[in-house]
Chains A and B, each alone.
Chain A
Amino acid sequence: MKAPKMTYARADSVAQALALLAEHGDGANVLAGGQSLMPTLNMRLSKPDLLIDINRLEDLAGISVEDDAVRIGALTRHAAVQRSPIVAEHLPLIAEAMPHVAHVAVRNRGTFGGSIALADPAAELPACILALGATITVESVRGRRDIAAADFFKGLFETERQPDELLIEIRIPCQRPGTVHAFMELSRRQGDFAIAGVACAAETDGETVTDAKLVYFASEDRPTLAANAVAAIAGKVWSDESRSAAMAALSEDLDPMDNLQGSAAFKLHLQRVLTGRVLDQAIERARAA
């Protein structure tokens, strides 16, 4: 349970980090919070030649509102996101998800960008930013580019980020009037890996669900946007029947993988239960608003 030997470089500027990534590419790992990377290295599941420590790059940390979107710097710690009044006001989905992101001591160190870049299929934040239609900015010595969340998550721990690119920031559209957010997760112990979970951004007046983004995590190899479940209820008055229709249609959207947290059948069952609950909650919140 000790990491392999490796070389370490502390980047003092984004330019220096990008130059190192350009030189070492696949052979380098970026060390941000390290809360997933270090367990991986301790268990020797990967062996980078070089660790590029970006913890001094203060420019990459911070939360601000710009043009109806919240900008979260990649190096922003989970604890800072959880405490942020901007996130609480404009991104209630993220605020509701944060207590589920590991435990306090891990949130003090782990970073928002790190969770996105890692793309763990059981992670909360990739699902949330997909539901909210976020944009991810990456940069390399070749330049900067924006990637839509819908194009970013490619598979198990695989993303559109290229080996020489550094994740810079995530821009997430602010909650719009008429849209309600709800987040639910099931795990053995709060903060542990999810058995099942869903991020929901629904357009509803409290009676009819006009449209919704339902994104499921801890099921497939990446966060999964459910189109059929939403199609089953879109434009209809919310009722026991439409709840059942959404739950039934979910099997056309979701084909969970077995893992240590549960079997595929168990996960599909739980995701169906969460579908009903999360939409009930969205309706309730719309009525209260």
Chain B
Amino acid sequence: MMETTLTINGESITATVEPRTTLADFLREQRRLTGIHLGCEHGVCGACTIMVDGEPVRSCILYAVSCDGAHIQTIEGSDTDPVIVALQASFTAHHGLQCGYCTPAMLFTARDIVTRLPDADEDRVRLELAGNICRCTGYAGIVRAIMAVLHDRRAKNE
């Protein structure tokens, strides 16, 4: 067991963690942050994507102990993140979710797209979304929702 300190959604937490515990399992089981969803547990489906030190990562293939000192943002701590809030409203408006299982992770990937690639077109959005699987196959709504936020952000910057 190892003592590990993480800043989780703005709060500094020190916990004792087994080295083999993934960040996803630690956050879900010890911190009850169950907005992190586990689909495949080997980095293929993307459902466990969260933000670590400002970048989207797969929390199922990261050890909690290896993230000692990191800043973690999950969907539960994103109500004050204006980009996530805008994306959530857009997902609602454009039918960007069906069962919702992939949605928290989709939002973080979408956040990365709109902040890193402000000029992205629809083809690029689809390419960047390739790492997140929606088994309802509701991609059309997700792409529309992201494109709408991209257009809004461009309009505001003009």
Contact = CB atoms under 8 A, between A and B. Distances in A.
Given A6-B20, A39-B61, A55-B66, A104 B128 contact: yes
B112 A104 contact: yes
A42 B42 contact: yes
Nearest to A79: B55
B66 A31 contact: yes
Interface residues of A, number: 33
Contacts of A39: 41-43, 61
A34 B18 CA distance: 17
Nearest to A108: B55
Contacts, number: 92
Interface in A68-100: 79, 99
Nearest to B20: A3
Interface residues of B, number: 29
B56 interface: yes
B58 A105 contact: yes
Interface in B1-35: 2, 18-20, 22, 25
A257 B93 CA distance: 48
Contacts of A55: 66
Contacts of A105: 46, 49, 55-58, 109, 131
B65 interface: yes
Contacts of A191: 130-131
B127 interface: yes
Contact of A106 (B2, B58, B63, B112): B58
A76 to B, nearest CB: 15
Contact of B130 (A38, A79, A109, A189): A189
A41 B62 CA distance: 11
Interface of A: 1-8, 10, 31, 34-35, 38-39, 41-43, 51, 53, 55, 79, 99, 102-106, 108-109, 189-192
Closest 3 CB pairs of A and B: A103-B131, A8-B19, A39-B42
